[in-house]
Structure 1
Amino acid sequence: MSAATAAASDVEDVKVEEKPPFKNTEPMAYAMGDIGNGFYFQLVTNYALIYMTDALGINPAIAGVIIFVGKLISAFTDFGVGVWSDNAPLREDGRYHWFVRTLRYPLMAVIILTFLPFVSSWPMWLRITYITVIYILGVACYSATSAPYGSFASVSTPVVKHRDAMASGRGFGSTAGGIIVTAVLPLVMYTTVKDASGNDKQVLNGPALIWVAIVFAILLWICYQITLKGTVERIRVEKSKDERVPPLKSIKYMFTNRAMVALMLAALLLIFAQMFAGAVNTYLYKDYFNNTTALSILAFQNVPVLIVAPFAPAICDKFGKKTVCGSLLVLTTVVYVVMFFMHITNPYVFVGMSVLAMFGNGVFGLMVWSFITDIIDDIQVKTHTREDGTVYTGYMFARKIGQALSGLLPAVVLAATGYVTATAGETVTQSAATLDNIYGVATLAPAIGNGLIAVILLVFYPLSGKVSKENAKILEARREKGEM
């Protein structure tokens, strides 16, 4: 295949390289990067709160504020890194690969520093100070790699079906990484002890986290290495320093684009629903069901999503992403509402219902990255400017707001219901009222979140499959003329 190179203007040189040809292995290589992301993200998402409350003995309200502040800060660091990467010089392997290749090392260090076992013996004020600083540093380091990594899909190829394959690959990696982490951790993170009444009680094994963190840091490096070796940046836009798009102008592009605003709202609610349920599920299975083995099995709730992953791009291409994902999210909402009213007491019945409930949410999570590439094209059609990293991190900004809320609100709920914290190895029996509230939150909050996402996609999101294909044709015609 040939390479097309043309000057789009006096200040921009647009180079679309079609060599080397796109390989079928690239989506899976890209997926490995999100599996690597999961070794930090899933660990911190699912265990930072319970580590702070049950290993360090920090009040859940204080722990929630720490997570909220950290995630709020990361929303801005994500956007900052996105602008930085968009304006970075082109290197031999492109613009975005350098960030992942270089900045993964600080992230590896922070994973280990987050779970140092001897911190639990420090005075309480020092524990709080230390974990606050490390948590904020961790989310910033995660931004430095995950934000540029997100741009790989949109700059890998100008061909829509290949970009959809890359987006589906990333969704597969995110889902598979979540299954790996959440299936393994409950088996090693808890130990069974006797409470004051002589009954078996499962408690967090805080010291085990350091070994998990070391292994995960190594696995993160390996996954990123596979992604770096197996993906190619084919779309490259070289800009003069004087004519780069100012950050404020990039923000204006995003917040005046209806599709972008709708997806940002959907992203906020998606991550809120997922992380809120994930954080509360840790307590639900530990305290309400007293069965963390079932929590490990719950990790496989997204296996059906992995099974349909190879077919999802074709299905969405035929019926439209917004229609397919919106309809499945309605199903997710209905199932969660049924679970709320059933008040299930058998953990394995709850797991079975959760598998059905998470299908719609999982398919949307699988295809959401393809929504982003459609929006990047839509903005380019309207503005003749391509800002992959900035648009991606605008989306990530909304996700991080959702993460911040999902880190704060579960902790606030726990504190309000009288949840009693513990230091490593202690046994605490929660009140019946606390347990009932945990169950209610674990089912009703995802129902509300997923229901709102369905409304946003089906009613407010404007980019149907037909519009996205028309945009792709417009941009293809422009590229043939050497235009943006």
Structure 2
Amino acid sequence: MINLSNRHIYGYGFGNFGYGIIFQIIATYFVFYATAVLGLSGTVIGAMVGTGVIWDALSDPIMGYISDNTKNKKYGRRHLYLWIGGFSVLITNLILWNLHASIPHWMQVGGMIIALLLIKTGMTVYITPYTALGAEITDDHIKRAKVQSVKMSFFLLGIFVATAVNMLLFFKATPEYPIGQLNPSGYRYMSVFTTALMAVSMFVVLKSTSHMIPELKKRIVHNHNSGLKDFFTSLAKAFAHGDFRAVVLGYLFTNLSSALLSTIGLHVYTYTFKMGNMQIALIAGSQLLMAVVSQPFWLWLNKSMDKAKAIRLGLMMSIISSLYFIGCVFLRGLTAENLWILLPFILLGGTGTGGLAMLPQAMVADTVDAHALVTGQRQEGVYYGTLTLTYKLSQSFAILFIGIVLDWVGFDTALAAQKAFTLTSLGLILGIGSLFSFGAAYVSYSHYHLNRKAMDAIHKQLT
């Protein structure tokens, strides 16, 4: 059994910090950068980024399967890919944000496609084995939840840095660029800063967990021939697992909302509510910090009730928050002049996000154990790769959808002020889309039936 101290838990969790930063700068800034800064068509960018995310999503379960079946004597099943994927992300992140508006259009588009595919592939090679590792290092009910909570807290802090800190550091208003987000040089400085943070994050997780490799090898309970047929069989078995399917669908729907916020949020804050970079950083950062600060609450709740009940509570908070946000959009003039009106949206939405981000990760770890009891196979990589697939498919759909919608609602960077219809439509798309997503997720999670009593019995039989 691995001796899992708090130092190891926090060291492992910090590996998600750099990934969260890289993931979020692409989700938050890229569509805005390409459309508002470089002036490319929203439809073209939406299709391009959506295609990249689909490739990224489809490669996740493949990477999970490869990792599950790796038998490297020195690095085990996971750590080799943390090195390979991590270095790939470092290089391609620098390339992605250094495209210039002066180069020919075809070079811009071609460069973006290549850079996106490469960075998405590197992120998959890194994050899928990393996430699977978190389910392997402990099967204790309390520690498992803590591992996922710490991991998700660092991910959310990474998102905070990507949205709030980057906004403050690199997109300050200047005489040449009164709207700081339109300054091309800010994106180049951001790429250097975020690449450095990703490098630190990667080395910390490797340093904190490499000593676990010998013990992790003992947890491999199967030895079968791998291949294409076995890969698809593994996927089919994963989706046939009713509890896992409930988590996957619920996770997909909740992340439709986060995908909408990531892709269109900057447009809504900048144009609908007329916020500057300082105000955007304050609003977005406060909600993310609320999600992090709420983690002790969700850990306490995990001790006192089953995960399925806890996650439905988080969904109810998010549904109420979405309804409130829709009201703010209809009163956008009043809200723009009095941003404190958004405070209930920040508090309730942030707290709900904290639970919705952490609990599904722990629920998947439980389904892996239930699957191992029946089949004798531990397939953390396939399960978490499949979970990530659904998450990224939701991102892809949102990016493609938003790219088309920006053109449909008449968003035009050439206009000094957007039309009233455009401003209201942007906000309502975000609010109503989130409301639908959370409602669908509530229905999905209602079909999850694993509880603490069942998991205690499973763990006794596995040991």
Is TM > 0.5 for Structure 1 vs Structure 2?
Answer: yes
Task: Answer yes or no: is 1:460 the counterpart of 2:434.
Answer: no
Tell me how far 1:401 sits from its aligned partner.
0.8
Between stretches 162-171 and 40-49, larger displacement belongs to 162-171
* Aligned match of 2:191: 213
Q: How many angstroms does 1:202 deviate by?
A: 5.4
Structure 2 CA distance for partners of 1:339 and 1:386, relative to 1, 3 Å = same
CA contact (8 A) 2:84 2:125 kept: no
1:355-391 CA-partner distances (Å, limit 9, x unpaired): 1223212212022211110110111122221111111
Name the residue aligned to 1:297: 282
2:151 is the alignment partner of 1:170: yes
Q: CA deviation at 1:243?
A: 6.2
Corresponding residue to 2:28 among 46, 64, 73 = 46
Q: Which moved more, 1:169-178 or 1:43-52?
A: 169-178
| Residue 133 (str. 1) matches residue 107 (str. 2) | no
- 1:149 counterpart (130, 134, 140): 130
Q: Which residue of 1 aligns with 2:432?
A: 444
Corresponding residue for residue 216 of structure 2: 235
Shift of 1:265: 0.8
Aligned residues of 1:70 and 1:135 also touching (Cα < 8 A): yes
**Residues in 2 aligned to 1:380 and 1:442: alpha-carbon distance in whole angstroms:** 40
- Matches of 1:175 and 1:126, distance apart in 2: 34
Q: Does the Cα contact within 8 Å between 1:327 and 1:454 map onto a contact in 2?
A: no
**Superposition deviation, residue 429 in structure 1:** 2.0
Partner of 2:161: 180
Question: Alignment partner for residue 473 of structure 1, among 453, 460, 463?
Answer: 460
Bigger Rg over Cα: 1
Query: Which residues in structure 2 correspond to 1:25-424 (within 5 Å)?
Result: 25-118=7-100, 120-192=101-173, 203-231=181-209, 232-233=212-213, 234-236=215-217, 237=220, 240=223, 242=225, 246-292=230-276, 293-298=278-283, 299-342=285-328, 343-345=330-332, 346-347=335-336, 348-349=339-340, 351-355=342-346, 356-421=348-413
The answer for unaligned runs of 5 or more in structure 2 is none
In structure 1, C-alpha distance between the alignment counterparts of 2:28 and 2:373, rounded to whole Å: 40
Q: What do the CA deviations read for 1:400-445 (whole angstroms, capped 9, x no partner)?
A: 11111121112221110011136xxxx7421111101011112221
SS of equivalent to 1:456: helix
Determine if contact 1:39/1:181 at 8 Å carries over to the other structure.
yes
**What amino acid sits opposite 1:290 in the alignment?**
K
Following TM superposition, by how much is the alpha carbon of 1:150 offset from its aligned partner in structure 2, in angstroms?
0.6
**Residue 4 (structure 2) aligns with:** 22
Q: Which moved more, 1:151-160 or 1:371-380?
A: 151-160
Percent same amino acid among aligned pairs?
Answer: 18
SS at match of 1:121: coil
Contact 1:74–1:400 (Cα < 8 Å) also in 2: yes
Computed over aligned residues only, the root mean square deviation of the Cα atoms, in angstroms, reads 2.2
Is the CA contact (8 Å cut-off) linking 1:170 and 1:369 kept in structure 2? no
What secondary structure sits across from 1:386 in the alignment? coil
- For the residues of structure 2 that align with 1:308 and 1:374, how far apart are their CA atoms? 23
How many residues are matched?
449
The letter for the 2-side match of 1:225 is F
CA distance in 2, matches of 1:317, 1:297: 32
The code of the aligned residue for 1:75 comes to A
Aligned CA distance change for structure 1 residues 241 and 383 (closer, same or farther; 3 Å): closer
Mapped to 2, the partners of 1:210 and 1:358 lie a distance apart of 30
3-state SS of 1:235 partner: helix
Residues 235-292 of structure 1 deviation map (CA, whole Å, 9 limit, x = unaligned): 3217556368910111121111011111111121122110211221101121122213
User: 1:172 deviation in Å?
Assistant: 1.1
Amino acid aligned to 2:84? T
Contact 2:53 2:393 in 1 (8 A): yes
Q: Is the 8 A contact 2:221 2:378 kept in 1?
A: no
CA drift at 1:474 = 2.4
**Aligned equivalents of 2:198, 2:449: Cα separation in 1:** 37
Q: Distance in 2 between matches of 1:311 and 1:36?
A: 25
Partner secondary structure for residue 304 of structure 1? helix
Aligned mates of 1:99, 1:159 — CA distance in 2: 26
Q: Tell me, in whole angstroms, the C-alpha distance in 2 between the residues paired with 1:193 and 1:290.
A: 17
Q: Is the contact between residue 193 and residue 203 of structure 1 (CA under 8 Å) also seen in structure 2? A: no
Superposition TM-score, scaled by structure 2 size: 0.91
Report deviation, 1:306: 2.1
State the TM-score, normalized to the length of structure 1. Answer: 0.87
Q: Letter of the aligned partner of 2:280 in structure 1?
A: L
More divergent stretch after superposition (203-212 vs 108-117): 203-212
Is contact 1:191-1:204 (8 Å) kept? no
Q: Shift in Å at residue 193 of structure 1?
A: 6.7
Distance 1:207 1:200 in 2: 14
Aligned counterparts of 1:94 and 1:201: Cα–Cα separation in 2: 49
